[in-house]
Structure 1
Amino acid sequence: MKCHRIEELIELLEPEWQKDSDLNLLEFLVKLANEAGYQGELANLSDDILIYHLKMRHREKDEMIPGLKKDQEDDFKTAILKARGIIK
């Protein structure tokens, strides 16, 4: 599972880092952490924060996270029935 997360992070990180190629990796990670609003120590920065920030970096603030949007239902009843496996 960790290998998949590393690959996803690198895939998201590479094009964004190329846009700021004057920064070294650590400087770029600090920039991303600050953009994401992370206040802790850089050593405790999780890959989840980086992944979700990179996914949402150039999107509107109220736009839904891509992985969640596919599961969204417009009405509560349908959402419950799908969650319980009654309908597909």
Structure 2
Amino acid sequence: MNQHKIEEITDLLRQHWLKHQDLQLTELLQQLATQSGSDLPLHQVTDDTLFYQLKMGGSEQHEMLPGIAKDCEDDFKTALLKARGIID
């Protein structure tokens, strides 16, 4: 895991753990895994699953991912021109 990813998971976990201070760390991680829809044991849950749940757990089910939303264009022509580097 690179440094940026470690810092990001630490910040996300800190925010979430402050809301659930009564839980142990492993209980908190298992709760996140369960909320994500995973029925795997905690040691088989990927870190990407936990990242996703921490980032998107409180959002609407059909809300677009932030990383995708920033690149989304309503107009196909504009999206195509941006993808080709013709416009910014």
TM-score over 0.5 for the pair: yes
The offset of 1:40, in angstroms, is 2.5
Q: Distance in 1 between matches of 2:43 and 2:36?
A: 15
Structure 1 length-normalised TM: 0.88
The equivalences for 1:43-82 within 5 A come to 43-82=43-82
**How many residues in Structure 1 have an aligned counterpart in Structure 2?**
88
Structure 1 unmatched runs, 5+ = none
Q: Which runs of 4+ in 1 moved over 3 A?
A: none
Q: % of aligned pairs identical? A: 52
Q: Distance in 1 between matches of 2:41 and 2:85?
A: 42
Amino acid paired to 2:3: C
Q: Distance in 2 between matches of 1:43 and 1:28?
A: 13
The equivalences for 1:23-42 within 5 A come to 23-42=23-42
Structure 2 length-normalised TM: 0.88
2:77 is paired with a residue whose SS is helix
Structure 2 unmatched runs, 5+ = none
Q: Distance in 1 between matches of 2:3 and 2:40?
A: 25
